[in-house]
């Protein structure tokens, strides 16, 4: 039998369930995010090394990882798709398991974030959001003739309204209303921009801005530089360098309690598996670090 990182057969025997939410309805440039989760799972299943260089062991032998696929939910309106995600997340969380969500467009994160509010007060949680975009629109009326408030460009606004604290990293493009929203001191949002004065923020400075005990990590793969993660719908030049991103993520987990995580907006491209491979590596690294006590 071929070794696989994903080998828990049931939710009961798993420590982590990777939930595949290949939802795509509101993406605004290149399409394909609905194919992301399956492509990432394929990498986890048979392409990624099981061995972790940090822990000098094979984390998947000690951490049981399972998967659950929500299937084709892209025909549903956003509110209905979110309900599908929340109801599945609830079942997994009720069994005391960690949910790792794979998108799909970024709006799927809201499903897990909504569900987590039943387990932990969002005011005690900081979302560490790695993204090129703020996703702080109130709705998408500036680019869509049928405006909705659950588009992928609105997801962090909705999460912030739930009460979560927000630290955004890698930001390099935004709409006027988003700028006004995150600049308003009463909203208490910390934005670390890339390409602003040609310097990259110090990781310590980012970590210092996380004031809560708990964190949630959401990674829109377009937060990374497109040279590392080219297969995504709304790529923007000049993003986060690969090793910088990994160090930030690992140190954030080391210093806080992780309540949930997701990797979204993988839209595979022809003749390159770089994006899904990177997304699989991010997924495995986050899981290993979160369950590091099992690896000693």
262 binds Mn ion (CB under 5 A): no
Among 52, 88, 129, 222, binds Mn ion (CB under 5 A): 222
Residue 90 binds Mn ion (CB under 5 A): no
Q: How many residues bind to Mn ion according to rule CB under 5 A?
A: 5
Q: How far apart are CA 44 and CA 211, in angstroms?
A: 33
Choose one: 48-56, 61-69, 93-101, 212-220; the region binding Mn ion (CB under 5 A): 212-220
CB nearer Mn ion, residue 88 or residue 131: 131
CA proximity to 262, closest of 50, 77, 30, 106: 106
In contact, 220 and 132? CB cutoff 8 Å? yes
Distance CA 169, CA 167 (A): 7
CA distances to 30, 39, 148, 275 from 270, in Å: 13, 12, 31, 11
CB of 263 to Mn ion, least distance (A): 12
Compute and round to an integer the Cα radius of gyration of the chain.
18
Sign of CA dihedral 10, 112, 208, 130: positive
Instruction: DSSP letter for 292, please.
Output: G
Q: Which is nearer to Mn ion, 52 or 220 (CB)?
A: 220
Cα distance between residue 210 and residue 182, in whole Å: 16
Beta-carbon count within 10 A of 193 CB: 15
In the bound state with Mn ion, the residue whose beta carbon lies nearer, of 90 and 131, is: 131
Selected from 34, 97, 133, 158, the binder of Mn ion by CB under 5 A is 133
Please report whether residue 157 would count as binding Mn ion according to CB under 5 A: no
Closest separation in Å from C-beta 183 to Mn ion = 19
Region from 75-83, 129-137, 180-188, 255-263 binding Mn ion, contact rule CB under 5 A: 129-137
Q: Considering the rule CB under 5 A, would residue 220 count as an interface residue with Mn ion?
A: yes
**Stretch of 57-65, 92-100, 115-123, 128-136 contacting Mn ion, by CB under 5 A:** 128-136
Which residues bind to Mn ion, rule: CB under 5 A?
131-133, 220, 222
């Amino acid at each position: 039998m071929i070794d696989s990182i994903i080998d828990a057969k049931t939710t009961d025997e798993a420590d982590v369930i990777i939930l595949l939410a290949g939802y795509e309805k509101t993406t605004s440039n290149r399409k394909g995010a609905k194919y992301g989760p399956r492509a990432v799972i394929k990498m986890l299943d048979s392409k990624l090394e099981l061995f972790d260089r940090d822990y000098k062991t094979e984390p998947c032998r000690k951490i049981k990882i399972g998967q659950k696929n929500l299937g084709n939910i892209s025909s549903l309106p956003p509110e209905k798709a979110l309900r599908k995600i929340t109801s599945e997340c609830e079942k997994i969380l009720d069994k005391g398991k960690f949910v790792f969500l794979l998108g799909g467009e970024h709006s799927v994160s809201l499903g897990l974030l909504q569900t987590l509010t039943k387990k932990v007060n969002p005011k005690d949680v900081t979302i560490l959001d790695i993204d090129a975009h703020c996703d702080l629109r109130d709705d998408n009326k500036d680019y869509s003739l049928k405006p909705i408030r659950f588009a992928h460009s609105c997801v962090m606004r909705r999460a912030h309204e739930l009460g979560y604290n927000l630290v955004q990293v890698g930001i390099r493009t935004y709409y006027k209303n988003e700028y006004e929203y995150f600049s308003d001191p009463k909203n208490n949002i910390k934005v670390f921009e890339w390409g602003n004065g040609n310097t990259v923020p110090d990781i310590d400075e980012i970590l210092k801005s996380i004031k809560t005990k708990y964190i949630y990590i959401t990674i829109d793969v377009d937060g990374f530089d497109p040279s590392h993660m080219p297969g995504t719908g709304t790529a923007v030049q000049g993003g986060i360098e690969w090793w910088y991103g990994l160090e930030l993520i690992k140190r954030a987990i080391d210093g806080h309690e992780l309540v949930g995580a997701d990797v979204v907006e993988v839209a595979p491209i022809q003749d390159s598996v770089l994006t899904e491979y990177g997304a699989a590596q991010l997924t495995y690294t986050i899981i290993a670090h979160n369950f590091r006590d099992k690896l000693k």
